Chains A and B, each alone.
Chain A
Amino acid sequence: MSRLEQRFAELKAEGRSALVTFITAGDPGYDASLQILKGLPAAGADVIELGMPFTDPMADGVAIQLATLRALDAGQTLAKTLQMVRDFRTGNQTTPIVLMGYYNPIHRFGVEAFVAQAKQAGVDGLIIVDLPPEHDAELASPAQAAGIDFIRLTTPTTDDQRLPRVLERSSGFVYYVSVAGVTGAGSATTEHVSEAIARLRRHTDLPISVGFGIRTPEQAAAIARLADGVVVGSALVDKIAQAERPEQAVDDVLSLCAALAEGVRGARR
C-alpha cells in the first residue's frame, strides 16, 4: 500500500478529513523551508504538497508567484527540492509528499532521471499543472510505472464528458480546484463544493481533496465536513511573505497549520 493510500485509509477509519498543506520548496531559503517541512506533520499536516519553483507559474496567483521568486532568488533548484525530500525522509517515513509544479524544470532535468530520483528520495505523488491527460505518455505513465501517484486537477469546467478522461489515469487522490481561477483567489460556496463532490463521486472511488481559496480554520472545517482532504496553500505561504525573519516564518506557518488542523479535526464527518 502506498503512503497516500495508507494515510487516506487511516483517516477514513478515524472519520475525518485530511489536512493537505502546500509550501514552496526553498521559500524563504533552503534551511528555513526544510525546517517548516519537518515541522508540518507535528503541526497537524496529514499530506504535504511541496511546490517546485518555476519562473513562470501561469496558474498561480500573486502569493505563490512571490513564493516562487523568493525560492529561486535563494538558489532553489529541482535537485535541491529532491534533496529536501531526502532530508525530510530521514526523520519521517509516514507522511506522504506530493511534488507540485510545472513541467518544464522536469523536462529539462530529464523525465527518466527525475522519476528515478524522486522515487528514491521518497516522493509519493506528482501534481503537474500543465500536463493534461492528453500528454500522459510524457510523465504520468513513467511516474506511475515507478510507483509514484499522478494526481489530477479537476475543475468547475471539467464537465461530465471530460471527467472520465481526466480520472482515467488518476491515482493517489483527486484534487478538486473549487474555483475557476488562479491559486489564492476567492473561495467557492459550500453548496458548490458539495455538488461538485457528489458529481465526482459518481465517477471515482479515489479520495477527493478540495483546494483554492481556503484560508482559515473555519473555512477548512466547512470543507472538511464535505471532502476527504482540505488543501491550504496561499494562506500558509503568505505567512512566509509577512515574516521579518526566517525563524518567524517557521513559527507562523506552523502555528497556522496547527490552527487549521484543529479546524479539520473538529469537523467530524
Chain B
Amino acid sequence: MTQSQYRPGPDANGLFGSFGGRYVAETLMPLVLDLAREYEAAKADPAFLEELAYFQRDYIGRPNPLYFAERLTEHCGGAKIFFKREELNHTGAHKVNNCIGQVLLAKRMGKKRLIAETGAGMHGVATATVAARFGLPCVIYMGATDIERQQANVFRMRLLGAEIVPVTAGTGTLKDAMNEALRDWVTNVEDTFYLIGTVAGPHPYPAMVRDFQSIIGKETRAQLQEKEGRLPDSLVACVGGGSNAMGLFHEFLEEPSVQIIGVEAGGHGVHTDKHAASLNGGVPGVLHGNRTYLLQDADGQITDAHSISAGLDYPGIGPEHAYLHEVKRVEYVSITDDEALDAFHASCRLEGIIPALESAHALAEAIKRAPSLPKDHLMVVCLSGRGDKDMQTVMSHMAAQEKQA
C-alpha cells in the first residue's frame, strides 16, 4: 500500500495527521502495543489471509452483490444508483467483516475470552456469532437505552450464547457501553480480547478495522468495472464511528475523479442539541483512546449524541474520518431523523429492500443528490445493514406521526 496524502498510514504512533494515537491507561499500553505487533505479523502471513478469505467466502457469503437500484434511479431521475449489498452478509450487516478478522487474530494470540460494545446491536450480534463459531465465551456491553430499543438483537445475542451486560451509566448508549468494555479490558488484561466494532479506539484498531472492512471497496471497484467498465463517480455511506464508510472509501481515496460523501446522523438537526454529527457539530478532543472530533461542551465534557438510529448514536467518529474531513478529501454532510425515515420507506417501496436506519441516512443523501446529476453519473451507496432490527423504532415513529396528523 502506498503512502500518500489521502492514505497516510497511520504512522507508527497511530496518527492520521493529528488524529488517532494511543490515549489509554498504562495498564492497557502493553496490550495495545502487543496487538499492533501481532496484527502486523498476521496481515503479512499468507496462512492468516487464506483463512480470512475462506471465512469471508463460505461463512459471511462474500462477495455480496453490487445491485443496480433501477426503480430508485427512475424515481430520482438522475444519477445511476447502485447499492453495495452489505445487508446480505451473514448476520445482516457489514459488522461481521471486521469480527471475522479480529476473532482470527484473537485465536492466533491465544486469547480465551471476547468482549465488545454495541449500539444498535449489529456489532454485538456479529461478535456473538463469531464467538459461537470459534467456541469463545463472549460478553457484550450494551447501553440500557439501546437494549430497550433493540430487543430483537438482544435476543439474537442471547441465542448465540453471549452474556449481555446492560450499562446504565450516562445515557445508556454506545459511548457508555464502550467505557464499560474498556473497564472490563483493563481488569481482565491477561486473557481477554476486546473486539472493537468501529474504526475508532487506540491504534491499531482504527487501521485494523478499516483493513478488515476495506473488502467492501475492493469488491465495489471490481464489480462496477465489470458492469460499467469504469470507476464510480460518487460514493455515499453513513458514518457513526464510520467503519462501513471507511471500508467503502479507502479503496478510492487516491482516485481524484471519485467524489466521496460521508453522512452523519443529524438527529433533529445539527443546529439543535439533538444530533450525532461529530464533524459538522463537534470539535477535536480525546476520548476512547483516540484524538478525533467529539461532541463536547466548553468545559471538555462529552455531550450526549442523539439519533433515531442506535448505531449512529455516538459523540465521536473514527480518527481517519477526522483527517479526511480536515484535508477535505471527503465531504461530510448530515441527514436528519425524518429524512432518514423517508428514505427508509422509499427503499422499502421502490426496491423491496428494508434498510437499517443507519443505511437509510446514506440513502437519504443519495436521494437528495441524484436528481440533479446526469444520467451517466455512477453513484454507489453502501447499504450497510438490513432493517429488521428497526421494526419497533419505525413502528412507534409511524404511530406518533399518525397521532399528530
Task: Let me know if B248 is at the binding interface, CB within 8 A.
Answer: no
A56 touches B179 (CB 8 A): yes
Q: Given known contacts A58-B182, A107-B286, is B299 in contact with A180 (CB within 8 Å)? A: no
Task: Let me know if B300 is at the binding interface, CB within 8 A.
Answer: yes
Task: Let me know if A182 is at the binding interface, CB within 8 A.
Answer: yes
Instruction: Provide the bound-state CA to CA distance between A71 and B25, in Å.
Output: 23
Within 8 A of B (CB), among A153-204: 153-159, 162, 166, 177, 180-182, 185
What residue in chain B is nearest A128 (Cβ atoms)?
B23
A78 touches B300 (CB 8 A): yes
**Contact string against A for B residues 21-47, beta-carbon threshold 8 Å, 1 for contact and 0 otherwise:** 111111111110100000000000000
Task: Let me know if A116 is at the binding interface, CB within 8 A.
Answer: no
Main secondary structure of the interface of B (DSSP, over half): mixed
Task: Let me know if B170 is at the binding interface, CB within 8 A.
Answer: yes
Task: Let me know if B186 is at the binding interface, CB within 8 A.
Answer: yes
Task: Let me know if B296 is at the binding interface, CB within 8 A.
Answer: yes
Counting chain B residues whose Cβ lies within 8 A of the other chain, the interface size class is 35 or more
Of the candidates B13, B25, B294, B300, the one whose C-beta lies within 8 Å of that of A130 is B25
Task: Let me know if A241 is at the binding interface, CB within 8 A.
Answer: no
Task: Let me know if A104 is at the binding interface, CB within 8 A.
Answer: yes
Instruction: Provide the bound-state CA to CA distance between A159 and B27, in Å.
Output: 10
Q: Given known contacts A135-B21, A180-B189, is B286 in contact with A159 (CB within 8 Å)? A: no
Task: Let me know if A77 is at the binding interface, CB within 8 A.
Answer: yes
What residue in chain B is nearest A175 (Cβ atoms)?
B26
- Which A residues are CB-close (under 8 A) to B296? 104, 108
- Which A residues are CB-close (under 8 A) to B24? 130, 132
Of the candidates B28, B175, B189, the one whose C-beta lies within 8 Å of that of A56 is B175
Within 8 A of B (CB), among A105-123: 105-109
**Contact string against A for B residues 118-161, beta-carbon threshold 8 Å, 1 for contact and 0 otherwise:** 00000000000000000000000000000000000000000000
**What 3 pairs across the A-B complex have the smallest Cβ distances?**
A108-B300, A105-B300, A181-B187
Given contacts A104-B296, A106-B300, A154-B26, 6 further A-B contacts (CB under 8 A): A58-B25, A59-B27, A130-B25, A132-B23, A132-B26, A180-B186
Report 26 cross-chain contacts, Cβ distance below 8 Å, ordered by A residue: A53-B301, A54-B300, A56-B170, A56-B179, A56-B287, A56-B288, A56-B302, A58-B179, A58-B183, A59-B27, A65-B169, A102-B286, A104-B302, A105-B299, A105-B300, A130-B23, A132-B29, A134-B22, A157-B29, A157-B189, A158-B26, A162-B30, A162-B33, A180-B187, A180-B189, A181-B187
Interface of A with B (CB < 8 Å)?
53-59, 61, 65, 72, 77-79, 102-109, 129-132, 134-135, 152-159, 162, 166, 177, 180-182, 185
